Amino acid sequence: VYKEIYARPLPIPPDKVPKHTWTNSTTGQIINYYEVDIKPFQQQVYSNLGKANLVGYDGISPGPTFRMERGQEAVVRFINHGTLNSSVHLHGSYSRAPFDGWAEDTTAPGQYKDYYYPNNQRGRTLWYHDHAVHHTAENAYFGQAGFYILHDPAEDRFGLPAGKYDVPLTISSKQYKSNGDLFSPASELTSLWGDVIHMNGQPWPYFKVEPRKYRFRLLDSAISRSFQLYFEKDTKTGTKLPFKVIASDAGLLSGPVTATLLEISMAERYEIIFDFSAYANTNVTMRNNRDVQADEDYNSTDKVMKFIVGGTITDTTNNGEVPAVFDPLVLPPPKTNVDRTFKFGRNNGEWRVNGVSFSDVNNRILAKPKRGSVELWELQNDSGGWSHPVHIHLVDFQVVSRKDGKRPVLPYEAAGLKDVVLLGTNEKVRVLARYAPWDGVYMFHCHNLIHEDHDMMAAFNVSVLPD
């Protein structure tokens, strides 16, 4: 049993520094070049047990945080010093297909691959993580995940908390063996929920904050666990404290959505503004509901982290009112007829999309959208009590409807564009997207990484030729 709940500080991953920066003297175009070493490291998790063996980007987990400016391109060399093949996906980027982390485009130990990222989307919180075929769950769980924040200068006028008041928070959930090492998901076929909740790689940390507004960029990087997060005062009044959801997968919402509960599933990102000004010199805790989807709960899976609120503000910049609206969303033109239906189901103990497995190389391309076309896809959960967060590469989509389950489209899902959407039990979710800007073969899959590895993943081919 882990005894040091809220006893260790929240780690903040260091910012990644480019190795070279080039400026094209004719166009002024800036390209930053980075190198990342995928390498083993150890972490003392249980103070009375041995260390856990991990493999992370630059030997840390989460990996270093990339901070990119919109319009500046990047090339990142990922050098594999690990023992398993790697493939790196920048989740949330409209990368060209050869740089999108295609599962079979793996880099063997001892080799490297250079990835090119255009960085010309709206500002957003992305993340980079492993995507190697049949090893994604292991690689991500043992440490290969990190933040990649794309900053759009056009958003500065909103005066949102910045600098040390803009904090990436990635939540995950793991399980350890009695020797202190990690229990591996490699032989799991359904899910590994984990009994130890981590924030930024640290089990149940605390974080010292000032009594002012903070921007938190939340990412669920767990391999199998969804969360319903809320804040409460340490005095346990039972009251869920309000916050504002300001952004989701594809950046700022059309305007902030006030909430007291944040549902976040694997690979989803939500950014919130939490104002600690009313809680000076007290504590606020972030909690998780029990019985989220069909996830298994343990003793402390309802606890997440503690905020120790100080009495003084050292910097009052960007601590004003959050604007009532941001920029209007650029939505694809509405459509009522469903173009394609995909069933996320289970056959003979294996996970499938429309009955097809990613290993079925001759049949796994399930769609051929014409480049530039807008399509309405219906994603159906056809697997009984399981839930599946479905991620479509390349595009940002609008969550149009959710039917036949218990939940409607959540207000903060509706107010932004997404690249992952949770298909809860029996749910049918419609998503609308423009399949652009590039041609190429891209993956879509369940982001329960154990389901993805076994083989709930398929592909679509964006092409100038019609279907």
Please give the residue ranges that form the binding site for ligand C2O (CB under 6 A).
Answer: 89, 91, 129, 131, 267, 391, 393, 443, 445, 447
| Residue 212 touching Cu ion (CB under 5 A) | no
Q: Which of ligand C2O, Cu ion, none binds 267 (CB below 5-8 Å, type-dependent)?
A: ligand C2O
46-66 per-residue burial string, b: 16 or more CB within 10 A, e: under 16: beeeeebebbbbbbbbbbbbb
Which region holds residue 355: left if phi is over 0, alpha if psi is between -120 and 50, else beta? left
Of the pair 364, 445, the CB lying nearest ligand C2O is at: 445
Query: With b meaning 16 or more CB within 10 Å and e meaning fewer, what string describes 332-369?
Result: beeeeeeeeebbbbbeeeebbbbebbbeeeeebeebeb
402 binds Cu ion (CB under 5 A): no
Classify strands 213-220 and 269-275 as parallel, antiparallel or unpaired. Answer: antiparallel
Residue 465 tokens read as 């030729």
Task: Classify strands 202-203 and 196-199 as parallel, antiparallel or unpaired.
Answer: antiparallel
Q: How far apart are CA 122 and CA 252, in angstroms?
A: 9
**Nearer residue to Cu ion within complex by CB, 125 or 381:** 381
Q: Which does 388 bind (CB under 5 to 8 A by kind): ligand C2O, Cu ion, none?
A: Cu ion
Q: Is 451 in the site for Cu ion (CB under 5 A)?
A: yes
Q: Which stretch binds Cu ion (CB under 5 A): 160-168, 240-248, 329-337, 383-391?
A: 383-391
Please identify, using beta-carbon distances, which residue of 428 and 445 lies nearer to ligand C2O. 445
CB nearer to ligand C2O: pick between 91 and 217:
91
User: Which residue in the set 131, 198, 388, 393 belongs to the binding site for Cu ion (CB under 5 A)?
Assistant: 388
Residue 446 within binding range of Cu ion, rule CB under 5 A: yes
CB of 445 to ligand C2O, least distance (A): 6
Query: Choosing among Cu ion, ligand C2O, none, which partner's interface includes residue 454 (Cβ < 5 to 8 Å by kind)?
Result: none
Could you give the CA distance from residue 131 to residue 200 in angstroms, rounded to a whole number?
20
Task: Order across the sheet with 262-264: list the strands.
Answer: 206-209, 303-309, 283-288, 227-233, 262-264
Measure the CA angle with vertex 180, ends 179 and 182; round to 5°: 110
Taking CB within 5 to 8 Å according to partner kind, which of Cu ion, ligand C2O, none is near residue 364?
Answer: none
Q: Which is nearer to Cu ion, 124 or 451 (CB)?
A: 451
Contact status: 257 vs Cu ion (CB under 5 A): no
- Side by side, the strands of the sheet bearing 63-69 are 63-69, 145-151, 124-130, 88-91
In the complex with Cu ion, which residue's Cβ is closer, 72 or 293? 293
Q: Sort strands 251-259 and 243-248 into parallel, antiparallel or unpaired.
A: antiparallel
Q: Which does 113 bind (CB under 5 to 8 A by kind): ligand C2O, Cu ion, none?
A: none
By CB under 5 A, residue 448 contacts Cu ion: yes
Write the Ramachandran bin of 453: left for phi over 0, alpha for psi from -120 to 50, otherwise beta.
alpha
Among ligand C2O, Cu ion, none, the one that 91 touches (CB under a kind-dependent 5 to 8 A) is: ligand C2O
**Helix (H/G/I), strand (E/B), else coil: 139:** helix
The minimum distance between CB 19 and ligand C2O, in angstroms, equals 26
Residues forming beta bridges with residue 219, ordered by sequence position: 170, 269
Q: Would you say 286 or 456 has its CB closer to Cu ion?
A: 456
The DSSP symbol for 297 reads P
State the binding partner of 391 from ligand C2O, Cu ion, none, CB within 5 to 8 A by kind: ligand C2O
Cis peptide before 332 (omega within 30 of 0): no
Q: Which is nearer to ligand C2O, 52 or 421 (CB)?
A: 421
Burial of residue 18, with CB atoms counted within 10 A of its CB: 0-12 exposed, 13-18 middle, 19 or more buried: middle
What does the DSSP assignment read for 243-288?
A: EEEEEETTEEEEEEEEES-EEE-TT-EEEEEEE-GGGTTSEEEEEE
**What does 89 interact with, of ligand C2O, Cu ion, none (CB < 5 to 8 A by kind)?**
ligand C2O
Q: Which stretch binds Cu ion (CB under 5 A): 54-62, 118-126, 369-377, 451-459?
A: 451-459
Comparing CB distances to ligand C2O, the nearer of 95 and 398 is 95
Q: From ligand C2O, Cu ion, none, which one binds at residue 446 (CB under 5 to 8 Å depending on kind)?
A: Cu ion
For residues 122 and 388, which CB has a smaller minimum distance to Cu ion in the complex? 388
Select the binding partner of residue 139 from Cu ion, ligand C2O, none (C-beta < 5 to 8 A, by kind).
none
State yes or no: residue 329 binds Cu ion (CB under 5 A): no
List residues near Cu ion by CB under 5 A. Answer: 388, 446, 448, 451
